[in-house]
Amino acid sequence: MTPSSSTLHLADSDASLPFYAAQAEEIALFEQAWRNQLPLLIKGPTGCGKTRFVSYMASRLGLPLFTVACHDDLSAADLVGRHLIGDGTTYWQDGPLTRAVREGGICYLDEVTEARKDTTVVLHPLTDDRRILPIERTGETLQAPSDFMLVVSYNPGYQNLLKSMKPSTRQRFVSLRFGFPEPVREREIVIGETGIDIRLAERLVALAGALRTLKEHDLEEVASTRLLIYAARLIQSGFDPLEACRAALVEPLTDDEETAAALMEVVQVNF
Ligand code: ADP
């Protein structure tokens, strides 16, 4: 989404909420989506704050959060539930999606495009105005309560068509695009998460900016806010800054030695 300098809201001072520095109007959008019973899709690169945002919003709205990290083996039963055998009898156990529908709350499917398309089909009746979850195995059809919300996220940066979202699924969601935060905000985040001093935070954020502009190395991913926080933690605990940046900002991004050496040159210019 487009950051706007007029809306620099940092995290609420309420200590019971997870720390979250807003990028733009996403808090208001999430609240409105929830109030209007609309499902939400958040797209953005890995480590830019999508998961933190969802847990912040769940706490802010006082809702239980059911998170599923999607992967290519995830079955519909993993989401909906299955019969289990115990004490000589068979009993039904709700999956996280069913629990969120039964109990109310947010069901968050992280990296939803990793899941097989036939798995995500179970989401369809929940994402239109019926808001129902048919459970074939038990014969039930659950009606989602008003405080149920489905949130999914994915990283559109992967150049993998098989892993993109089906247009027919995508257009069932209100969508929000996340990018890496503006430098001032990213600095606040690094300080908020690690307590490092402002000058070091500034250097790390400038370094991330420089690393993110390197297009010629064909990196699949760029330095994320998460990796910046790792680097800050290592430096804060006494690790040599160059080595900390190598371990947290260079090696996680590439296996190619030449590319790593080129990235280290950028680190050296900034440190
Ligand atoms: P994603 O889900 O997009 O992969 P995360 O939400 O897990 O990324 O973010 C990675 C880490 O970066 C978080 O654990 C948190 O420390 C930090 N972070 C990123 N963005 C923010 C933000 N806006 N406010 C607070 N912390 C953030």
d(CA 101, CA 103): 6
What pLDDT is recorded for position 215? Answer: 67
Residue of the CA atom closest to atom 25 of ligand 1? 20
Residue of the CA atom closest to atom 1 of ligand 1? 47
Residue 21 CA to ligand 1 center (angstroms) comes to: 9
d(CA 108, CA 120): 13
What pLDDT is recorded for position 221? Answer: 84
Assess contact for 152 and 109: CB atoms under 8 A.
yes
Write the pLDDT tens digit of every residue in 41-82. Answer: 999 999 999 999 999 999 999 999 999 999 999 999 999 999
What pLDDT is recorded for position 9? Answer: 41
Residue 226 CA to ligand 1 center (angstroms) comes to: 6
Radius of gyration, CA atoms only, the chain = 21
d(CA 65, CA 52): 12
Residue 110 CA to ligand 1 center (angstroms) comes to: 13
What pLDDT is recorded for position 5? Answer: 36
pTM score: 0.90
Which ligand 1 atom is at minimum distance from the Cα of 22?
23
Residue 155 CA to ligand 1 center (angstroms) comes to: 14
Pairing of strands 65-69, 105-110: parallel
The ranges of the chain with pLDDT < 70 are 1-14, 158-163, 215-217
What pLDDT is recorded for position 117? Answer: 80
Residue to mutate, 42, 51, 52, 191, ligand 1, most ligand atoms under 8 Å from C-beta: 52
Residue to mutate, 43, 225, 228, ligand 1, most ligand atoms under 8 Å from C-beta: 225
How many residues can be counted in the chain?
271
Residue 35 CA to ligand 1 center (angstroms) comes to: 24
Residue 9 CA to ligand 1 center (angstroms) comes to: 16
Which ligand 1 atom is at minimum distance from the Cα of 225?
12
Which ligand 1 atom is at minimum distance from the Cα of 110?
2
What pLDDT is recorded for position 162? Answer: 59
